Structure 1
Amino acid sequence: MIVRIMGEGQVKLDDVHFTELNALDDELLAEMESGDEQGFRRTLGALLDAVRRLGEPLPDDALEPSELILPGQDATLDEVREMLSDDGLIPG
């Protein structure tokens, strides 16, 4: 799967990693619902770090369609809320 981190670029990520990413996504969703800004910042950072660590960056000139778009590290709670589906940022 091709994942885009807004403001950074694209990463190719193997589907086997989505269990770990979904756990972080669930935690992020709970923190957003409770208004826990500090927890939100920590978990968003952990989610993005996991994508970077587990994925393989695509070259900047690659034009692959992104199957998943994640907010950048500096996104606000409100900006991320607008990106959410019923499943959070990561479907499944």
Structure 2
Amino acid sequence: MIVRIMGEGQVRLADSHLAELNTLDEELAAEMQQGDGPGFRRTLQALLDEVRALGEPLPDDSLEPSELILPSPEATLEEVRAMLSDDGLLPG
């Protein structure tokens, strides 16, 4: 799967990693519902760090269709809320 981190670029991520990333996604959704700004910031950073660590960066000139778009590390709680689906940021 191709994942775009807004403002950074794309990485190729094996679908097998979605289950472990979903744990962070669920934690992020709970923090957003509670309005926990510091927790939200910490978990968003952890989610993005994990995607970067598990994924393989694509060249900057590559324009693959992204199957998943994640917010930038600087995104606000309100901006991320607008991006959420019923499943959170990640499918499943």
| TM-score normalised per structure 1 | 0.99
> What is the distance in 2 between the residues matched to 1:20 and 1:49?
13
**1:68 pairs with 2:68:** yes
Q: By how many angstroms is 1:45 displaced? A: 0.2
Structure 1 stretches lacking a partner, 5+ long = none
> What is the distance in 2 between the residues matched to 1:23 and 1:73?
18
The equivalent residue for 2:15 is: 15
Q: How many positions carry a matched residue from both structures?
A: 92
After superposition, residues 44-83 of structure 1 pair within 5 angstroms as 44-83=44-83
> What is the distance in 2 between the residues matched to 1:19 and 1:29?
15
Give the percent of matched residue pairs that are identical in Structure 1 and Structure 2.
76
Root-mean-square deviation (CA, aligned residues, Å) is: 0.3
Q: By how many angstroms is 1:62 displaced? A: 0.3
| TM-score normalised per structure 2 | 0.99
Q: By how many angstroms is 1:41 displaced? A: 0.3
Q: By how many angstroms is 1:63 displaced? A: 1.1
Amino acid at match of 1:86: D
Q: By how many angstroms is 1:89 displaced? A: 0.3
Moved over 2 A (4+): none
